[in-house]
């Protein structure tokens, strides 16, 4: 399952910019990758883990702004298309391999 975080945070004042930067850094600390400036993506190996990530993201949301968390299955994500300019479509990211700890 893939977890997408999309957000629109105010950046009109120094405090708002600081809060928006903190939110983006919190997403990176949770293992999200930036897809676009206000769109972040992370793979979760189960629905429960995806919900856990969404809950953590909810705890980071600044007092003002708009944040959405979307969930996509591997099959749905595999059907997405990525374009860079007018070039041919790029393949979506592969889900990461399973980590083995010894």
Q: What is the pLDDT of residues 56-81, one digit of tens each?
A: 999 999 988 899 999 999 899 888 88
Q: Convert the chain into a string of H (helix), E (strand) and C (coil).
A: CEEEEEEECCCCCHHHHHHHHHHHHHHHHCCCEEEECCEEEEECCCHHHHHHHHHHHHHHCCCCCEEEEEEECHHHHHCCCECCCCCCCECCCCCCCCCCCC
Question: Which CATH architecture is the domain 2-78 placed in?
Answer: 2-Layer Sandwich (3.30)
Q: Are 77 and 92 in contact (CB under 8 A)?
A: yes
Tens-digit pLDDT profile for residues 13-67: 999 999 999 999 999 999 999 999 999 999 999 999 999 999 999 999 998 889 9
Checking if the pLDDT of 97 tops 70, the result is: no
């Amino acid at each position: 399952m893939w977890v997408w975080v999309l957000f629109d945070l105010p950046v009109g004042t120094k405090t708002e910019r600081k809060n928006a930067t903190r939110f983006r850094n919190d997403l990176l600390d949770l293992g999200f990758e930036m897809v676009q400036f206000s769109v972040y993506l992370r793979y979760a190996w189960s629905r429960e883990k995806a919900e856990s990530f969404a809950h953590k993201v909810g705890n980071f949301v600044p007092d003002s702004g708009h944040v959405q968390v979307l969930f996509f299955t591997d099959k749905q994500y595999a059907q997405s298309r990525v374009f860079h300019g007018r070039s041919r479509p790029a393949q979506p990211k592969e889900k990461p391999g399973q980590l083995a700890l010894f």
